[in-house]
Structure 1
């Protein structure tokens, strides 16, 4: 096999020169040498590889690895785990924004598995700069909720426009009275943050958070977007420091996570947005 100087490592003994990798590469960084009977990195374009993994995914013999991933092999797709469109439709339609949770902490292993799916979320130019702050205990979540309430009170005192649009005065009053309208007594939070600069940092973070939300649904958990936390952490330095958000990063999405307090047995109707068919 080739050494790791190239971003693309192709095992000539496994390669059958089918050309699928070269055909599917979005940047044209792989060529097929018919005389050698093997695919190979393009001598001038290989450095453009952004490690999307299409070549590994399409290779029928597992001949390709990428140096960015330490030469690890691709994971075979298990056909027995494939889902039908009917199953996906019900799964997506039955997702709820859960705002009532059981008083039950989430296991670290469960949270780690939810975070793991985000590695496969789409990312603009495959930059993959989204990082996470996970508030993993109910006690830490309550600390976050109190700090968000402190930020809200500052805005109320400033007579900031957000006070009216986000109903901050009433939320603070409820929180001081013991009703957590900020984190809804969720046992865990997951905050997606990324550098302010980049190809599509906001979109990448929101897509990654959506992956976590759907994975949580599949795990029998509930999730809900915590907009108050997102607003606060980007404007309240003590909270950003508590959560370990790096300087220059913006939190683009926050999810509450936990076991739903109730079971949802039906799917309410929804109005779909308009569609303009262009043919």
Structure 2
């Protein structure tokens, strides 16, 4: 059986780090200082996480599998300071007022090129992206969500929003969009239907996007009502344009903010327990 892990014997120093980080012992080392080998009994358990390649200090390991694309140049560890990351996270805001200016495709692609490094279970990288940018498509999707919300309100399917749904629907009927807020871009994270773990992978990826977007001048808003409607209505999910064998895991609004923030919002202290 062909292995996805290649070892360059000339580069390998026999440090043993690769076998230490391989949680299923696909790589094993008979003695300290020797070149590790592929364990034939464990070979089938390789989860293609890429840790062996990442941690090899002599660049003696390379991996070859569909998810292993070439890696870009990366900054040295520690090039982002705790202060910088704190300022980035604290400066992130939910945006519900957007300028009508379209977001260039190049900007979306640049953000998602970063987001693809978000972790996923056993490195399956199941998240796909559907970008709804045409106004008629965004309006059609939002109208579909409103129809489902109206049905949900009348049938009591969404009790936690009973106090708000009638107002959201009324405002839509009167010309005010409180569902997708006129955002020029709706970003759909979708995956194959094959694993319940993919929801977590999609939320992690969108969380990365939520942090990355402000660096590009883009504001975001989690679109929970869009996700809920897609989850419960085949009609609404079809309006997103994703493949039939995929499912919408979550959605996010994106666009250039219409307003400027002047304060950091108040937050509770972190609630931490120790054992």
TM-score under structure 2 length normalisation: 0.88
| Greater CA drift, 59-68 or 73-82 | 73-82
Question: What is aligned with 1:165?
Answer: 161
Say whether residues 1:237 and 2:234 are aligned partners: yes
Aligned pairs (5 A) from 1:173-184 = 173-184=170-181
Is the contact between residue 62 and residue 74 of structure 1 (CA under 8 Å) also seen in structure 2? Answer: no
Residues 75 and 32 of structure 1, relative CA distance in 2, 3 Å threshold: farther
Deviations 1:100-121 (A, max 9, x none): 1111111111112222233222
Aligned pairs (5 A) from 1:49-60 = 49-60=46-57
Displacement, 1:249? 4.1
Aligned pairs (5 A) from 1:130-141 = 130-141=127-138
Where do 5+ consecutive residues of structure 1 fail to align?
Answer: none
Say whether residues 1:276 and 2:273 are aligned partners: yes
Deviations 1:24-59 (A, max 9, x none): 222221123659942332222122111111111111
Distance 1:13 1:76 in 2: 24
Residues 192 and 177 of structure 1, relative CA distance in 2, 3 Å threshold: same
Distance 2:52 2:236 in 1: 42
- Of 188, 192, 210, the match for 1:213: 210
DSSP-derived class of the 1:143 partner: helix
Question: What is aligned with 1:16?
Answer: 13
- Of 38, 43, 55, the match for 1:41: 38
DSSP-derived class of the 1:101 partner: coil
Where do 5+ consecutive residues of structure 2 fail to align?
Answer: none
Is the contact between residue 56 and residue 74 of structure 1 (CA under 8 Å) also seen in structure 2? Answer: no
| Greater CA drift, 66-75 or 199-208 | 66-75
Is the contact between residue 105 and residue 137 of structure 1 (CA under 8 Å) also seen in structure 2? Answer: no
Q: Which runs of 4+ in 1 moved over 6 A?
A: none
- Of 44, 57, 81, the match for 1:84: 81
May I ask how many residue pairs the two structures share in their alignment?
Answer: 274
Is the contact between residue 16 and residue 32 of structure 2 (CA under 8 Å) also seen in structure 1? Answer: no
Residues 89 and 71 of structure 1, relative CA distance in 2, 3 Å threshold: closer
TM-score under structure 1 length normalisation: 0.87
| Structure 1 vs Structure 2 CA RMSD | 2.6
